[in-house]
Amino acid sequence: MHRTPSNCPIGPRVFVADPVDASDVIDVKVRVLGSRRRSRAGVSCMLVKTPQLGSAVYRSVGDNGRSHRRRDRTCGGKPIFLAVYCQRRRSSRSGTASAIAVWAAFFAVFLALFAAIFVVFRAVGHRSAATDASSSQRDSEAGIQVTGPSMAPALWGPHAELTCPACQVRWKVHWQPEQRPEKPFICWNCGDPVPIGEASELPGDRVQIRGLDDRLLRQADLVAIENDNPISDSESPEWIVKRIAAVPGQTISHQNGWLFADDKPLSAVDSYGEMLSIAVHDDSFRKSNQSWWQPRETGHGIQQTDSGFAFQAIDGPTPWLDYHHLAVHDAMRPDVVRDDVPGNATEVRALVPVDSLSVTFTAEAAEATEIEVAFQIGGKTATIRRELPPGQSLQRLDFRDAVAKNPADSLAVPISIRLLRGEATVSNLVVWRPLRYRIDPRFAAKATWPIHLGDGEYYLLGDNVPLSIDSRDWGPIPSRRIVGRIYAVGYDGK
């Protein structure tokens, strides 16, 4: 490095790469180095261009990081040293081409290094996102609070618990204090209005985000993903909880609004592979002891009890016990079972008929006997038989396990039950619908179907199907956006 000649317009206290005449200098880049004692190699600098070579005024960078013009040779009381990279005029075209090639190669290497650094920092950021969030949202010991309704009923955000005065059933509803409804809720179980004045307001569930390990992500896993479109730091969380509905290699399609993965109905399942369900009606909570289950024939074989029904099959099967579904949101008229979500008490939308049902009950028999359940859903009729052991047992019979059959005495009701032989008591009858994933045909029309999930692509959905914003809106989610698995506080993760 040499001092510039006295006639250089840049100034005598500036060092240049080569001692050249000022008339040969056609481009100058300036870098602030700091005090005399600091070497250029250890300083992070900003490159700027001089506004014009013929002027003694040049651009420098102050201690506060702001760019400004100065005539003096100090900044903040410290001497400034400038490394000036000069380029001479080249008379030959080959020289110009060579210089361009050198700069192009330098620029390409710089971009490659920048891209590599960006990828590394982004990967590290994803792994540490669970611990880098604001302290107001994260508590390493108590966990993380769920703030929205999209994962109910698996995980609840702020909610309230209501008790119906008529049937005494108690359930949770999505609840935002600033959006407190003025009208009573309608009980999903009996159809009576439920005042909200005595509602118990509760905060969202608390969970933990644990970083990804060597285990493969699989269907049913609850995961946290980065929120790449937050509204503000206070109004929108930096992470979003969803369930993995499909994994790389699977194909997503839809039919009549229902979603399918590899041509199989796409339903929410837990980590044990059990399908999640939503209660349709619970006969354990009766309004004025009136049941929605009624014997098809009265006088023999079936007797109503306080909590269920007593069956007695003496000379053949008992009459059918039929479930009569009533539309609680439509003046209690007889109706097919629809995809109502009891927790979305303030939601207004068109309800859709379901395509599957199940029924659970407690059976008690003195000796081994057999029960039969008939399902009639969407124009399809199927039956299933189950041996009841002596003593008390919890039973669950599902339309998916039933065999297509049309009994001669079938009736257009969703579910019917009869005892084939012996005696038994059936109590705590609950009708369930599977938590099936749907897509609004209006949204489906905007996508290209089927959707094939490539390497590292996941289809994420929320359990609260009507309210959740998920892959039905975003499309497949790349694995780089998944920051960890979700566990309930205190759960051991096994």
Could you write out the DSSP letters of every residue in 75-144? ETTEE--BEE------SSHHHHHHHHHHHHHHHHHHHHHHHHHHHHHHHHHHHTTTTSS-TTTEETTTEE
At 175, is the secondary structure helix, strand, or coil?
A: coil
The pLDDT, as a whole number, for residue 420 is 96
How far apart CA 300 and CA 409 sit, in angstroms, is: 17
Beta bridge partners of 369: 388
β-pairing verdict for 403-404 and 321-323 = unpaired
DSSP code, position 481: G
pLDDT tens per residue, range 372-395: 999 999 888 999 999 999 999 999
Q: What is the mean pLDDT of residues 269-289?
A: 92
**Mean pLDDT, all residues of the chain:** 76
Report the relative pairing of strands 391-398 and 302-304 from DSSP bridges.
Answer: unpaired
Query: Radius of gyration of the chain from Cα atoms?
Result: 36
Instruction: Tell whether the model's pLDDT for residue 71 goes beyond 50.
Output: no
Averaged pLDDT, 257-261: 94
Range with lowest mean pLDDT among 33-42, 88-97, 253-262, 438-447: 33-42
**Cis amide prior to 12 (ω within 30 degrees):** no
Token code pair at residue 94: 């080959």
What is the model's pLDDT at position 370? 96
Tens-digit pLDDT profile for residues 137-146: 333 334 688 8
Which is more confidently placed, 126 or 475? 475
Q: Indicate the pLDDT class of residue 327, thresholds 50, 70 and 90.
A: very high
At 477 the pLDDT is 95
Query: Which domains does the chain possess?
Result: 2-84 (no CATH), 277-434 (2.60.120)
How many residues in the chain?
494
DSSP 356: -
Say whether pLDDT at 3 is over 50.
no
Confidence of residue 97 (pLDDT cuts 50, 70, 90): low
CB 54 within 8 A of CB 8: no
Whether residue 294 is predicted with pLDDT greater than 90 in this model: the reply is yes
List, for residues 417-459, the tens digit of each pLDDT value: 999 999 999 999 999 999 999 998 888 888 899 999 999 999 9
Residue 302, beta-bridge partner list: 311
Predicted pLDDT of residue 446? 85
Residue 88 is predicted with a pLDDT of: 34
Centre a 10 Å sphere on the Cβ of residue 54 and count the other Cβ atoms it contains: 8
Contact 1, 16 (CB under 8 A): yes
The rounded distance, in Å, linking the Cα atoms of 293 and 191 is 16
User: Which residues are 421's β-sheet partners?
Assistant: 370
Regarding predicted confidence, which is higher, 75 or 178? Answer: 178
- For residue 457, the SS3 value is strand
| Residue 415: closest CA among 460, 383, 368, 451 | 383
| 196 pLDDT tier (thresholds 50, 70, 90) | confident
CB-based contacts of 131, cutoff 8 Å, min separation 6: 138, 140
pLDDT tens across 125-134, in order? 433 333 333 3
End-to-end Cα, the chain, rounded Å: 65
Please give the pLDDT value at position 177. Answer: 65
Which of 89-93, 247-251, 399-403 has the weakest average pLDDT? Answer: 89-93
Instruction: Give the tens place of pLDDT for each residue, 5-36.
Output: 444 444 443 333 333 333 433 344 443 333 33
Residue whose pair of structure tokens reads 């995809």 in the numeric block? 339
Residue 186 has pLDDT above 50, yes or no: yes
From the list 342, 67, 35, the residue with the least C-alpha distance to 188 is: 342
Name 226's bridge partners.
239
- In this prediction, residues 286-305 reach a mean pLDDT of 93
DSSP type of residue 177? G
Q: What percent of the chain is modeled with pLDDT above 70?
A: 69
Residue 322 above 90 pLDDT?
yes
Distance of CA 65 to the CA centre of its chain: 41
Looking at per-residue pLDDT, the higher value among 236 and 237 belongs to 237
Residue 471 phi, psi dihedral angles, 5° rounding: -65, -15
Burial category of 133 from C-beta neighbours within 10 Å (exposed 0-12, middle 13-18, buried 19 and up): middle
Query: Which is higher by pLDDT, 313 or 107?
Result: 313
Distance CA 348, CA 316 (A): 47
Q: b/e for 23-44, b at 16 or more Cβ within 10 A?
A: eebeebebbbbbeeeeeeeeee
Is the bond preceding 153 in cis, omega lying within 30 degrees of 0?
yes
Model confidence at 114, pLDDT cuts 50, 70, 90, reads confident
Of the pLDDT bands very low, low, confident and very high (cuts 50, 70, 90), residue 226 is confident
In sequence order, the β-bridge partners of residue 225 are: 240, 482
Tens digit of each residue's pLDDT (9 = 90 or more) over 43-65: 333 333 333 333 333 333 333 33
The closest alpha carbon to 463, from 283, 276, 264, belongs to 276
